[in-house]
Structures are given as structure tokens and as C-alpha cells.
Amino acid sequence: MSDASTSAKGDLQLRNITKTYGDFNAVDDLTLTIPEGSFFALLGPSGCGKTTTLRMIAGLEEPTAGTIHVGSTEITDMKPYRRPVNTVFQNYALFPHLSIFENVAFGLRRRGIKDVKEQVDKVLQLVELPHLAERKPTQLSGGQQQRIAVARAIVNRPALLLLDEPLGALDLKLRRQMQIELKWIQTEVGLTFVHVTHDQEEAMTMADTIAVMNEGRIEQMGTPADLYDNPQTAFVANFLGQSNLIKGNVVATDGDSHTVDLFGQKVKVNKNRSVARDSSILFGIRPEKIRIQENSHTNSGCVLEGGTIVDVSYIGVSTQYQVEMPWGQELMVFEQNDDGIPPLAKGDSVKLSWEPVFSFGLNGHEDASAGSEVNPTEDE
């Protein structure tokens, strides 16, 4: 049967998907399973292949190699209009010559459904815009257009809803509100959402599972908390939030922890939190996990001494410090302003400390700056 637009259900499976443009591998041997009913985010910087992946699932691009399945139905070579997939486009792509009602009814009508009114009204209720049914898309605000674009897609109850940077055109406040709303709609309708974004905060807020993409491959996949706490690569550590990554050597292993030498100072990292393959290690610690104190202080946990504050930014809830270490590297420290102690000043000598459970270890042969150079606000 060639028309799966209503019948196919189940997990989305991409197997060895590759998309090549000339010599450039936009998507490189990607294998991925997205469970039915989940809210899945493909997160990555511009040009990482996430939108190309989405367009291949929608049928708007053909993969150079590999297969795509929904449940047991293969959809790799199916025309877009035969797939059980609907897309919310980046700039919504509402039909300007049709009313909101007709925009939402478009998919139903094309599938030969005669009585569309009840379903359209219901989905307009869901997005809370039933009073705009007779308007034209240009008469709606950005946020309203966005909700209509979602309504136009979910009214068809596809096996998969694809969202291509759906909130990219909205201002920050509206974006926050829509993040919550989209998440709520997803829970309400129970469809599988595949969300493409370059905004790590958006992905973390909404998705159950995030796949971080870089240069056509998946760097790491997991829950937001898992990705943040246990990054496996320097790219993930830097792209999701910020990280201090320090080159070092594993000099001893006792019990569950490695002892790591960082330019002459010894720190510890849990064995199962390190993915270093040999003694060369990139030692990682998140800025908000570090305590910063004057040199005279005594500390528990891991300690790095000999820092000098080179920059202080006070940002209300926290103070951000740039601390230059004896080996020349600048480390970042975020200190909550919750102890009534005035912030330290530029030029102060400090030591940094943290609980060993917070540190992680990456493969020491990686580039410590991977993923920190990309501009996360740039549009694709």
C-alpha cells in the first residue's frame, strides 16, 4: 500500500541516513530511533544537518543513502503527501490567500474528508484562537500565526509532527510562553513531536530526549539532565551550557576515582564519569559548581590554587568571574549571590574548589573549544 498518511503508526527509525550535496556530507550515516509519543529535539548549530534531517523525514529532501521507517512502514521514497507526517515550518508557511479556517481544513479536505467543521473548530479551541477563523493569515500576529501553523498540522493527527525552528521568529517573552504551550499541546494530543532547534534552552525546556548534532552526526543523545551532567564530548559540554575544560593527565586510579594532574595540581574525577580512553584527559567542571574564595581560606573537595580574578560581571542573581590560572587558562565561575558576602574584586588572588562528584572527564585528545565558538542565536 502506497498511502501511509493515516495508517502508519509507531516509532520513527532512521537507519544509516546520509545526505550528500556534492562533496559535502550534510548528514553523515545517521541512525536514530524516536519512540512513539515522545517529544524529541534535534539540537545543533547552523549547518549541522538537523534541518536536512527533518526535511528528509518530511519527504522534502531525498536521502542519498539509508532508510526511514514509521513503525514497520518504510517511507524513504514516499511522496510528502503520502507520509503520515506533518510539518510546522520555520516561517509558518500559512497560505496567504485562504482564511484561517481553510488553512486548518486544508489537510482534511485533501484527504477527502467532507465534514471538516467539527475537527477544525476543535483544534482552533485547542490553540485558543476560534475567534480568528475567518481572518486571513496576514491579519494575525506572529504568535497567533505560529499557533495556527501548529493547529493546521495536528488537526491531521499525523504519526509524527515535525517542528522546524518553530519559535525562531518570536521575541523572547513570547518564545518562553510558546515553549510551555507547545509542550502542553504535545501532552494533550499525544503525538510524536520532532523539534529542530539551535536554541539549547528551548530544547532543554521542551524535549524528553535531545540529540545533539554536529557536522552531520549525532554527538550525544539523552535526557536534558543527562546531557548536561554527563557530557561525552567537548562539543556537548560547550554547546549545552558552558564548561571549563582543562587539559590534564590521569596519574593514578584508586577505588572509583581517577586522580588527575592539572598543570601540577591534583584533582579527582569519578571513574564512571570519565570517557577518557588513555591517560590524556580533558577535565571538566561546570562554572556554577565551583566555589570561589580568597587564598587564605581552607577548602574541602577538589581545589585549584593560584587564580587571579581578571573580570567580574554582576548580573543580579549571580556574579560571573573570569579567573586566570597559573598556566594561563581563564576559567569561568558563576557564584550565586545568596550569602550576603560582597563579590570579590578584579585582581584578587583566589582559589577554586568543588565537590568531586560534579567533575567529569572527556577524551584528552579532543579540542577543548569545540562547540563554544558557534553562535547559538544565529538562524539557519
Q: Which of residues 48-77 bind other proteins (CB under 8 A)?
A: 58-60
Q: Considering only 89-97, 221-229, 272-280, 366-374, which stretch makes contact with other proteins by CB under 8 A?
A: 89-97
Residues whose CB falls within 8 Å of the CB of residue 222, separated by 6 or more in sequence, listed in order? 209, 210, 230
Q: Nearest to residue 58, comparing CAs of 140, 158, 203, 155?
A: 158
* One of 51, 52, 53, 87 touching other proteins (CB under 8 A): 87
For cell 556537548, what's the residue?
Answer: 236
Q: Does 156 contact other proteins by CB under 8 A?
A: yes
Cβ closest to other proteins, residue 138 vs residue 336? 138
Among residues 292, 270, 279, the alpha carbon closest in space to that of 360 is found at 270
Q: Is 168 in the site for other proteins (CB under 8 A)?
A: no
Q: Of the candidates 31, 35, 72, 110, which one interacts with other proteins according to CB under 8 A?
A: 110
- 2 makes contact with other proteins (CB under 8 A): no
Other beta carbons within 10 angstroms of residue 187's beta carbon come to 10
Report in angstroms how near the CB of residue 217 gets to other proteins at its nearest.
Answer: 26
Q: Which residue's entry shows cell 563554544?
A: 372
CB of 110 to other proteins, least distance (A): 4
Q: How far is CA 51 from CA 28, 47, 195, in A?
A: 13, 8, 10
Output helix, strand, coil percentages for the chain, rounded to the nearest 5. 25, 35, 40
Q: Does 136 bind other proteins (CB under 8 A)?
A: yes
- Are the beta carbons of 2 and 78 closer than 8 angstroms? yes
Considering the complex, what minimum distance in angstroms separates the CB of residue 133 from other proteins?
11
User: Is the CB of 90 or the CB of 144 nearer to other proteins?
Assistant: 90
Separation between Cα atoms, residue 163 and residue 153, nearest integer Å: 10
* Smallest separation (angstroms) from other proteins to the CB of 80: 4
Map the footprint of other proteins across residues 188-217, applying CB under 8 A. none
Q: Which is nearer to other proteins, 164 or 335 (CB)?
A: 164
Per CB under 8 A, 80 contacts other proteins: yes
Closest CA to 216 of 52, 89, 34, 372: 52
Are 351 and 293 contacting, i.e. CB atoms less than 8 angstroms apart? yes
Residue 136 CB, nearest distance to other proteins (Å)?
7
Residue 134 within binding range of other proteins, rule CB under 8 A? yes
How many Å apart are CA 271 and CA 133, to the nearest integer? 59
> Does position 79 bind other proteins by CB under 8 A?
yes
Residue 251: φ, ψ to 5°: -105, -20
Tell whether residue 86 is a contact of other proteins (CB under 8 A): yes
Q: Taking the complex as a whole, how short is the minimal distance between the CB of residue 184 and other proteins, in angstroms?
A: 23
Residue 5 is a binding residue for other proteins (CB under 8 A): yes
Q: Which one among 20, 91, 209, 308 touches other proteins, defined by CB under 8 A?
A: 91
Rounded CA separation 289/298 (Å): 17
The smaller minimum CB distance to other proteins, of residues 116 and 282, is found at 116
Out of 7, 24, 46, 111, the residue judged to bind other proteins by CB under 8 A: 111
Are 186 and 38 in contact by the 8 Å Cβ rule? The answer is no
Judged by CB under 8 A, the stretch of 27-35, 105-113, 280-288, 320-328 that binds other proteins is 105-113
Give the range of 93-101, 229-237, 276-284, 321-329 binding other proteins by CB under 8 A. 93-101
- Separation between Cα atoms, residue 304 and residue 87, nearest integer Å: 50
Q: Cβ distance 12 to 57 under 8 Å?
A: yes
Q: DSSP letters of 185-224?
A: HHHHH--EEEEEES-HHHHHHH-SEEEEEETTEEEEEE-H
Is residue 21 a contact point for other proteins (CB under 8 A)? no
- Least distance CB 94 / other proteins (angstroms): 8
Q: How far apart are CA 52 and CA 165, in angstroms?
A: 12
Closest approach, Cβ 139 to other proteins, in A, equals 8
Footprint on this chain of other proteins (rule: CB under 8 A): 5, 58-60, 79-82, 85-87, 89-91, 93-97, 99, 106-107, 110-111, 134-136, 138, 152-153, 156
